[in-house]
Structure 1
Amino acid sequence: MSEHAQPKRSTLDRFLSGLSEYIFQTKLGVADVQLVEYISELLLRFTRVDAIQRVRRDDGRPATEIFQLMCEAERRIGTARRDVHRHIGDVTLFRSGMYPESVRGHARGSADQLLDYFHQGKRSYKIASTIEADQDRPPCELLDRLSDQFELCAYGLREIRRAWEESDPSDELIIS
């Protein structure tokens, strides 16, 4: 493989990328390619449950609630803090966009029942955007735009969900 050759992308990756581009660029008029790529990569990453539950608490169990993740972020410094805040932004964006019904009805006794997901997601992306990191991580400017455009991104994710829920099963949505 040459130095400039693109890695082979999975069918799921191509599907999510194409659907994200269609919804954000065509339906919503979002011309920010970097933002749309981030959204499609977020969808692909979160097809794996372990990606959603990657942050661990002191006892080794996954931090599954936003409140727990916020506590973990406060315990960390530098890029580790940035990564947890970015993860909070990602999880709140994913849940509020793809599964808004799960955000509205937190179980009684859950620390998350009192949280405003939009506020926490925007706040976490904003905090993450202020902590410099290496080139392997999303740039600060992108995280800042995710904070500023959080509601639009969540709406776009809801539209992505609607598009695949309303698609005709006989449609050839995925091309090999």
Structure 2
Amino acid sequence: MVLANCRAQFTATDFDFVARVLSRQGSRISLIELLSDPECRDEMLDNDALTRALLSREGQVQVSQQLYFYILARTVLRRQGIEDRELADYIGALLLKFSKTQQLQSPHEKLPHQFNYIVEMLEALATASAAEAFLIRVHIGNYALFLSGMFHAWVERRQQRGAPDFSFYEDIGRTSFKTAAHHKLAYQLELAQVYHQLADGFRPARLALNELARRVWNPDAEPPVAW
């Protein structure tokens, strides 16, 4: 499962990085504040100096993937008017998970399913249990957001050959997150609100990832799966 937990996995090296970068900006930053005050830490993480540092070679080698993906996701989401930190945390975790090819193809480590196409996921819903259907629905939403967000040029190229366009990914993503948001497991995992936000704001989230891909990704890259 993708959980909104990037901020819960920051390392001591991450906190040191944040303190050093912000100190260069004239801010009086204490590691004790970063470690003990979550609200103060969240405000510090919104500083644009951190984004600039992470996009430099120096920044990329000094932090965890959790910090890297959270800050960049938070930055591009805010530019689309999405201010919720939990949602940025979730999308940061999504990018981290799908950076591993095998995670992109599997809804959950305990399920045997391996998917390359959304149609295969939809077909699997017909015989899935309630819990399996929830996991597959979430995976469809995540998958649609990741592909249409991080591989904009790839979707456009395939669209010219008759493949689904962005409206397809947006519709299937919204529907999947909306369905998942009402499942009892979404409440148990404290993800119902995140799923609701993605259902209502799938397009702005997708556009945010389009921007992120342009900044940190090869814009002509194809998804790291066999098609």
Q: What is the TM-score of this pair, normalised by structure 1?
A: 0.76
Evaluate the alpha carbon distance shift between residue 82 and residue 165 of structure 1 in structure 2; reply closer, same or farther with a 3 A threshold.
closer
- Larger mean CA deviation between 147-156 and 126-135 belongs to 126-135
CA distance in 2, matches of 1:64, 1:71: 12
- Structure 2, unpaired ranges of 5+: 1-7, 12-62, 219-227
Evaluate the alpha carbon distance shift between residue 28 and residue 81 of structure 1 in structure 2; reply closer, same or farther with a 3 A threshold.
same
Percent identity of paired positions between Structure 1 and Structure 2 = 21
Is 1:77 matched up with 2:129? yes
CA distance in 1, matches of 2:106, 2:217: 28
CA distance in 2, matches of 1:80, 1:138: 18
CA distance in 1, matches of 2:186, 2:81: 31
Evaluate the alpha carbon distance shift between residue 18 and residue 134 of structure 1 in structure 2; reply closer, same or farther with a 3 A threshold.
closer
Aligned residue in 2 for 1:17: 70
- Larger mean CA deviation between 11-20 and 87-96 belongs to 11-20
Deviations 1:19-47 (A, max 9, x none): 1122222x233211111111111000101
1:124 CA drift (Å): 0.8
Evaluate the alpha carbon distance shift between residue 67 and residue 18 of structure 1 in structure 2; reply closer, same or farther with a 3 A threshold.
same
| 113, 136, 145: which one aligns with 2:163 | 113
Is 1:144 matched up with 2:196? yes
CA distance in 2, matches of 1:108, 1:74: 31
The structure richer in helix per residue is 2
Alignment of 1:21-170 (within 5 A): 21-25=74-78, 27-55=79-107, 62-106=114-158, 113-114=163-164, 116-133=168-185, 137-165=189-217
Evaluate the alpha carbon distance shift between residue 103 and residue 75 of structure 1 in structure 2; reply closer, same or farther with a 3 A threshold.
farther
CA distance in 1, matches of 2:198, 2:10: 27
Task: Report the secondary structure of 2:184's partner residue.
Answer: coil
1:87 CA drift (Å): 0.2
Amino acid at match of 1:22: T
Evaluate the alpha carbon distance shift between residue 7 and residue 63 of structure 1 in structure 2; reply closer, same or farther with a 3 A threshold.
closer
Task: Report the secondary structure of 1:121's partner residue.
Answer: helix
Q: What is the TM-score of this pair, normalised by structure 2?
A: 0.60
Root-mean-square deviation (CA), in Å? 2.8
CA distance in 2, matches of 1:86, 1:138: 14
Evaluate the alpha carbon distance shift between residue 108 and residue 65 of structure 1 in structure 2; reply closer, same or farther with a 3 A threshold.
farther
Amino acid at match of 2:145: L
Q: How many residues align?
A: 155
Report the structure number with the largest CA radius of gyration.
2
- Given that residues 20 and 160 in structure 1 are in contact (C-alpha distance below 8 angstroms), is that contact kept between their aligned partners in structure 2? yes
